[in-house]
Amino acid sequence: MSIEEDAQIIRDALGGSAEVAIVLGSGLAAALGNGFDREAVPYERLKTLPFKPLDGHRGEALVGTWSGRRVLAFSGRVHLYQGFTPQQVTAAVRLAHAAGARALVLTNAAGALNAAYRAGDLMLLADHVNLTGANPLTGSDARNPFVDMNDAYSSRLRAEACMHARHEHRLHDGVYVGLLGPSYETPAEARYLRTIGDAVGMSTVLETIVARSLGMEVLAFSLITNAAGEETAHDEVTRIAGERAPLLAQLIEATLERV
Ligand code: HPA
C-alpha cells in the first residue's frame, strides 16, 4: 500500500482534494464542532498509518466539510513514547499533504510551565523547543532537509485565531516544549523547562517539522490540563480536554474560513 493509494481513499471520501488537516490530541475528538459534516474512515483502511490504541479507542480519519473547507481530521495519533519511530509519528502529516492539504491544525493536551496559565486555558503555539531527541527529517531523502523553522507556526493563522477568541477563552500565545515522555517531569525538570517555555507535552513538534518541510502552513493549539511538575493522572488530562474541547472547536471553525 502506498501513500498515494491512501490519499486516493481520502479524496474519494471527500469528493475532492483535502484542503485542511486537523490532528486531534488526547481527549480532543470533541474539538470537532457540530458543523463538521463528516464520515469516518477507520485507520485499518489506511495502510500507511500506524496505529496502536492507547485507551481502547480505535483511530479514524474523519473526512467532510467544515466551514466551507474540505477537512481531513485524524482522531487518534501515535507517539514516540509508545515506541513508534519519528517517521511513523508523522505519517498522518505526509498523508494529509498527499491528499492535498496545504494547512495543518495541530492540537494537544499540555502541562503549564508558565505560572499564569490555569487548567482549561488554551495556548496558541508561537514557537517550540524540540527536546524529544528525535527529528523526522534525519536520513531523509527530501531534497532539502535543512528546513527553515522561522515562523513555523504561521503568524497569519495565529492572528486569525486570536481575532476570533473572545475574552473568556483565556487564550495565550506561548512556547511549547516537546518531550519524549511518557513519564511526566520531575520538579527539577519542570524548573528547568520553565526557563525555556510556557507549556510542555509529548507530541506536535515532529509533526510541525514535517509539515514545514512539505511547505504546509501550521496552526497549533495546546489545551492546558495541569501544571507541569505536579502530580497528574492521565484521566484528569482527558477529562479537562473533553470539557474544554467545544471552545477549541469554535476557534478552529472560525479560523478555517481564513485558511
Ligand atoms: N507534561 C508533559 N506532557 C503533558 C503534561 C505534562 O504535565 N500534561 C499533558 N501532557
- Choose among 45, 44, 58: nearest CA to 12: 45
Query: How much distance in Å is there from the Cα of 228 to the middle of ligand 1?
Result: 6
- Choose among 107, 52, 37, 101: nearest CA to 72: 101
**Average pLDDT over all residues of the chain:** 91
**CA 73/CA 248 separation, integer angstroms:** 14
Q: What is the pLDDT of residues 9-59, one digit of tens each?
A: 999 999 999 999 999 987 788 778 788 989 999 998 999 998 766 655 668
Q: What would the mean pLDDT of 73-85 be, rounded to a whole number?
A: 93
User: Using alpha carbons only, how large is the chain's radius of gyration in Å?
Assistant: 17
DSSP string across 7-61: HHHHHHHHTS---EEEEE-TT-GGGS-TT-EEEEEEGGG-TT-----SSSPPPEE
Which residues pair with residue 173 across a beta bridge?
124
Query: How much distance in Å is there from the Cα of 17 to the middle of ligand 1?
Result: 34
3-256: CATH topology is Rossmann fold (3.40.50)
Would you say the CB of residue 123 lies under 6 angstroms from ligand 1?
A: no
**CA 209/CA 216 separation, integer angstroms:** 10
| Residue partners of 75: CB distance under 8 A and separation at least 6 | 24, 29, 32, 57, 59, 60, 61, 62
Which residue, judged by its Cα, is nearest atom 10 of ligand 1?
110
| Span between the terminal Cα atoms of the chain, in Å | 31
What residue ranges do the domains of the chain occupy? 3-256
User: What was the pLDDT predicted at 133?
Assistant: 98
Query: How much distance in Å is there from the Cα of 111 to the middle of ligand 1?
Result: 4
**Residue 190 grid cell:** 519542570
Does residue 126 register a pLDDT over 90?
yes
Does residue 166 register a pLDDT over 80?
no
Judged by DSSP in three states, 161 sits in: helix
- Choose among 124, 136, 132: nearest CA to 94: 136
